[in-house]
Amino acid sequence: MNIHGKGIKIFSGSANRDMAQEIARKIGVPLGALSAGRFSDGEVSVNIGEVVRGSDVYIVQSTCMPVNENLVELLVIMDAMRRASAGRITAVIPYFGYARQDRKAKARDPISAKLVANLLTVAGADRVLTMDLHTPQIQGFFDIPVDHLLGAGALAEYFAKLTRDPARTVAVSPDAGSANRTRYFAEYLDVSIAIGDKRRAKQNECEIIGIIGDVKDKTCIIFDDVIDTGGTIVKTAEVLMELGAAEVYAACTHGVFSGDAVSKLQNSCLKEVVLLNTIPLPEEKRAAKIRQLSISHLFAEAIERIYGDKSISTLFDVRHIRDIENYVL
């Protein structure tokens, strides 16, 4: 594994080009010349348009929908960089797809997150920079360094402007599995926490049995890492309103928004849904209740610190995200 390269070069796959341009601009370097297309049979075609020999290369690519297309494209780009003698290759994956397949939930299940970790390493990644993995233990699937950023601080700073009274605000975890990340979010806001009792009948279908905690007459902020179909968030919001909540917001790092998630959220009792730009939000997935914040500057600072062999633990300090105006897209 290479420890360092000479000079930062930022490249982008097809998934996060706008975010990659923001990152490059904040670092003060041009976005690298790279084209990623498809041959007539659908195979990925990659061309690097500049010299990368000996450089510290950062490839920005979320493995979001279309998941397999974006994943294979990232693998091919890294292979091209490795064969072009890049000094060090960092896969910048704001949203890490397959992260929810992190264990054998039943007999004969694959552990796809581990498979993806192996593929990234074999393709040439020297390290990975990502944000809010579904379970932090996924870092242990890699035999290379993984820098794991947290989006809770940026989201908390946004809500700090809206919720002036911490005593009348509560952060809500939709289930026990999200309690730790919700507690971290609550600590930023200095508010109490409530936890949903969720039972999943089958994939993408759930039932909220109840809420553990006091939510009556409170402003409730449901916090999770991912909103996929929107079912869990909407049902949690409905239960909170039934229990007497004054108003309900939702906050998440990754807005997958598959199926009819957008219409489901727009027609729900939620006042607003706030997410980060780890996954692009195309025009057809925009709605009045959905607000996206940019987290590009946090990735830019992390890249500069990685390149300069500096600690990134200070990025978890709320002082790095005080100027929330830089976040709103």
Q: In this structure, are 169 and 140 located in the same domain?
A: no
Domain for residue 68, yes or no?
yes
pLDDT digits (tens, 9 = 90+) for 151-161: 998 999 899 88
Which residues, including other chains, have CB under 8 Å from residue 18's CB and lie 6 or more apart?
277, 280
Q: In this structure, are 131 and 211 located in the same domain?
A: no
Domain for residue 201, yes or no?
yes
The total number of structural domains that make up the chain: 2
Q: In this structure, are 215 and 233 located in the same domain?
A: yes
pLDDT the model gives residue 175:
87
Using alpha carbons, list the distances in angstroms from residue 98 to 42, 158, 200.
22, 28, 19
Compute the chain's Rg from CA coordinates: 20
Residues taking part in catalysis: 198
Q: In this structure, are 201 and 135 located in the same domain?
A: no
pLDDT the model gives residue 126:
97
Domain for residue 129, yes or no?
yes
pTM score: 0.92
Element (H, E) at 26: helix 17-27
Can you tell me the mean pLDDT for 285-314?
Answer: 93
Using alpha carbons, list the distances in angstroms from residue 264 to 230, 288, 289.
7, 12, 11
Q: In this structure, are 211 and 271 located in the same domain?
A: yes
CA distance 61 to 70: 7
Kindly give the interhelix angle for 296-307 and 17-27, rounded to the nearest 10 degrees.
50
CA distance 31 to 24: 6
pLDDT the model gives residue 106:
86
The partner residues of 227 in beta bridges, in order of sequence, read 255
Which residues, including other chains, have CB under 8 Å from residue 272's CB and lie 6 or more apart?
249, 250, 289, 290, 291
CATH of the domain at 278: 3.40.50.2020
Token pair in block for residue 47:
């061309």
Q: In this structure, are 173 and 283 located in the same domain?
A: yes
CA distance 2 to 143: 13
Domain for residue 329, yes or no?
no
Full domain range(s) for residue 222: 152-293
Domain for residue 3, yes or no?
no
Q: In this structure, are 214 and 144 located in the same domain?
A: no
Q: In this structure, are 158 and 102 located in the same domain?
A: no
Domain for residue 1, yes or no?
no
pLDDT digits (tens, 9 = 90+) for 197-244: 866 655 555 666 678 999 999 999 999 999 999 998 999 999 999 999
Token pair in block for residue 113:
């997150």
